Structure 1
Amino acid sequence: MTTVRRASGLSGPQKAATLMLALGEERASKLLSRMHDDEVRDVSSAMAQLGSVPAESVEALCHEFAEQIGQAGSLIGSWETTERMLLRSLPRERVTQIMEELRGPAGRTMWDKLGNVNETVLANYLKNEYPQTVAVVLTKVRPDHAARVLALLPDSFAMEVVMRMLRMESPQAEALEGVERTLKAEFMSNLARSTRRDSHELMAEIMNNLDRGAEGRIMAALEEQSSESAARIRSLMFTFEDLRRLDAAGMQVLLRTVEKEKLAIALKGASENLRDQFFKSMSERAGRMLKDDIAALGPTRLRDVEEAQMAMVALAKELAQQGEIRLAEGGQPEELVY
């Protein structure tokens, strides 16, 4: 038996669905054409499950709608008003999660938001997902963004994703909704929370990507303004010279992974202690060849040396994130338990 609903017991989407049915197919179709996909889905779902609504309830709903519009006058939407309205009907924890998602990467839908997420961040998340899930995601974001993400995935995994994309037909609505729910619940909510980072940690990462001249000037000025902040930022920074604290196994992994040309350029401007540590981790023949490569470079632009060193630091951090090596940041050796 079809359920009869009263206006007072209708949800927001159900009220919208009722009003559209009251307006008739022609007017309702014009409204639907101006809505976004997620809005159309919510209203359509409510409409399909609405059941029978008494005429007096429809009339009361239309009157309520007209009355609210007539009394509204000028409207101002803001984060604060949105949060207050949500708190009237949802638990605070859920409201906090929604507001974090809204304040996250800009975009109307989940796929729009993913298109604004840094490709490295997105790739690091997706590489732990099923290839089919990654294939669905990459078909939904912009091609240029998908290309950058694909390039950052491990080669064998990326090839499997490519093959899934080539064989993929139009993803079913249920599959898309499942992926979308997972991304909302796991990735986007974690991303929103991760944006509340310690300001010193963020500044340390920025400093790691500055050339030495700019870094020196800024840190010297900061030292005068706040020696405590400068000391904390230095403790969080990981520089090229900090690679000297890699253990033997970590140094071997780094040497196997880094491009030999970049290694030579980076060591061109390294301290003798750091150079010696690299040479000790290589065979005598390989070390001799590397020394010859460094000598053959001749005068090298400081900018090229710093770029090569920053690339090696970035590679070391990526390897650490993958669990391949361990890093001790900020000039402090890792504590060991004997």
Structure 2
Amino acid sequence: MITNVAPTAKAKEEILPGIQKAAILMVMLGDQVSAEILKMLNEDEVQLVSREVARLKKVEPELAEAVLEEFYQMTAARDYIVKGGIDYAKSMLMNAFGPETAKRLMDRLIKALGSDVASFDALQKADPGQLAKFLHNEHPQTIALVLSHLNPSQAAALLASLPPHLRPDVALRVAGLDQISPDVICKIANVIGQKLNAIGEFSRESYGGVRAVAEMFNRMDSETSKDILSAIETQDGNLVETIRHLMFVFDDTLLIDPQGLKEVIARVDRKVITLALKGTGEQLKNHFLQCMSQRGADMMREDMDALGPVKIKEVEAAQQTVISVIRALESEGVLSLRGTVGEQYVV
């Protein structure tokens, strides 16, 4: 990475017209890479850049480095916006380059991308119910592309809000997504942006796939996810098996070794665990109780006995809280699973 660029070179780079920066960048990248870039430009842009390259004389090394540095920083900034929106981009840029450079990059990028930045950020903050209202008339592939650019919780809510007959088809299409052309995304973005003003330009990156579908189902209520999986199974049984393998349901806590489960219990409120265990089988309850102290287990049993009827949604919310802690601990390497996630148990 280029660092410690001379202030004088940086000052020159700041006032250079964009077309001159593009010409310097093309020269620095070399003939082969530049040729590939030119293929992506229209005829007028090719002429402008080519003319500017021809006009270039000797470029000071420090100035060339400053242009390359700006190119790297702007690319990183755009990538951060695509992945997590404006707030995420600001945070990442501040960590990477400091507050002053981060502000300068964001100002430039927002000015360059215009409404694209705001509309993409708005999409990630949009209410899933509102998105579903206008998306249900779109082609399932369009819906799948939108879903793949949302966070798992938001995508799950949106998928659940779609008409039941659409859900399996959309989930199948998300699972099949891989590398997506920016041109395709932009065309779809223009259509959706007119309706909700909530979509922008995206980079070529992997957003979909089976794991994305599994993450959605993990955040859905169990009945909806079961219905969609059953419908998909009639079309692609192997895909459903893979999705279930990647899903982590509350019953899968049986796969956690005692030491790991003790860590989970230590991080989750006892009332949440009590609610999460409501209606589960004795095997699962005992698995938790055996990882507690005698006093803790006795108190848990008393809480279970005293717990009256509760809504299924409340139980599922408590189970999702436990699952979130399990995932966090697994990513930290604190706990491990004894078997295959997604195995079925009689509860």
Report TM bin, short chain: 0.3 to 0.5
* TM-score, structure 1 as length reference: 0.47
Name the larger-Rg structure: 1
